[in-house]
């Protein structure tokens, strides 16, 4: 089975896992997904990630972050929204990068310098394709 848009598949798996309060979620590995996981970890949305070698394709395992006891745990990712899609690409300049939830969330941007958070892209003075927003 082929996945049409791997970033959307990654976000859907994360969203479904947080709704069911899973401790971790596994998905097929790619360099783009690993870069996104690195940003989510540095922004504090996940506890960490690990690349698990497997044949024919490695897996990317994300450890999800929660606050509180298991029965009433509140996930660190309360919302995640895909912005750019294969049918509609969304680009933003360095001054037009979105600030989800009034700056309380983050946007992930694909730039010429790689995949960055919106704050890092603005600090470097570059824009790019807005992949998704997370809060």
Which residues make Cβ contacts (< 8 Å) with residue 124, sequence separation at least 6?
A: 111, 113, 116
Q: With beta carbons less than 8 A apart as the criterion, state whether 89 and 129 touch.
A: yes
Average pLDDT score, the chain:
94
Name the CA dihedral angle for 28, 34, 37, 41, rounded to a multiple of 10 degrees: 140
The average pLDDT across 18-39 equals: 96
Instruction: Look at residue 3 in the predicted model and tell me its pLDDT.
Output: 78
Instruction: Look at residue 1 in the predicted model and tell me its pLDDT.
Output: 58
Instruction: Look at residue 42 in the predicted model and tell me its pLDDT.
Output: 97
Distance CA 11, CA 135 (A): 13
Q: What is the pLDDT of residues 108-123, one digit of tens each?
A: 999 999 999 999 999 9
Ordered by where they begin, the domains of the chain are 6-134 (3.30.1490.10)
| pLDDT band at residue 11 under the 50/70/90 scheme | very high
């Amino acid at each position: 089975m082929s996945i049409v848009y791997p970033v959307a598949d990654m976000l859907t798996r994360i969203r479904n896992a947080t709704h069911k309060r899973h401790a971790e979620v596994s998905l097929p590995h790619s360099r783009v997904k690993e870069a996104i996981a690195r940003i989510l970890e540095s922004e504090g949305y996940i506890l960490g990630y690990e690349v698990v070698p497997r044949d024919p394709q490695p897996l990317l395992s994300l450890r999800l972050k929660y606050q509180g006891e298991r029965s009433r745990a509140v996930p660190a990712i309360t919302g995640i929204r895909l912005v750019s899609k294969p049918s509609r690409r969304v680009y933003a300049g360095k001054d037009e990068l979105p600030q989800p939830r009034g700056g309380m969330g983050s946007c992930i941007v694909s730039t010429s310098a790689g995949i960055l958070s919106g704050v890092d892209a603005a600090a470097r003075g570059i824009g790019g394709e807005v992949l998704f927003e997370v809060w």
